Amino acid sequence: MRLGRHGFTLIELLVVLVIVAGLISIVTPRYLRSLEQSEEVMLVSNLTNMRDVLDQFYADRGIRPSELLELVDAGYIRNVPQDPMTKSSMSWIIVNSEDAGVPGIADIRSGADGETRSGIPFSEL
């Protein structure tokens, strides 16, 4: 009496591996694009929130902060957010006020090199 086949042949395994590799090659570029897009969205969100906090600080106190940690110490934010492009909270570019009567931080920009998918440099967002 002969028993049925057990296991897979080498050809069957190779066919499955080729199919899986093909699927991975289709999915990976889409995943990387969505990852880049989410980092850009997070950068814009962080910049918008930080600019709002800088404006609130100025409206409440009549002065501008001299450093970002002042916003944390005053309770306006819990911590300085991370720049998603540089993965650091220390890479922000500080734009000081041009008003001599009210010195301090007036704006914040990303310190990342490169540009968005639409061609705008990160430092100009």
- Is 91 within 8 Å of 112 (Cβ atoms)? yes
Phi, psi of 50 (to 5 degrees): -65, -40
DSSP annotation of 83 reads B
**Domain enclosing residue 89, as ranges:** 41-124
* 31 within domain boundaries: no
The letter for the amino acid at 74 is: A
pLDDT tens-digit profile of 9-43? 889 899 999 999 999 999 888 888 888 889 899 99
> Does any domain span residue 103?
yes
In a domain, 105, yes or no: yes
Reported pTM: 0.73
Distance from C-alpha of 22 to C-alpha of 4, rounded to nearest angstrom:
31
Please indicate, yes or no, if residue 93 is contained in any of the structural domains: yes
Structural domain count, the chain: 1
> What tens digit of pLDDT does each residue of 91-100 get?
898 888 877 6
User: Mean pLDDT across the chain, nearest whole number?
Assistant: 87
In 3D space, the residue among 51, 42, 99, 101 whose CA is nearest the CA of residue 76 turns out to be: 51
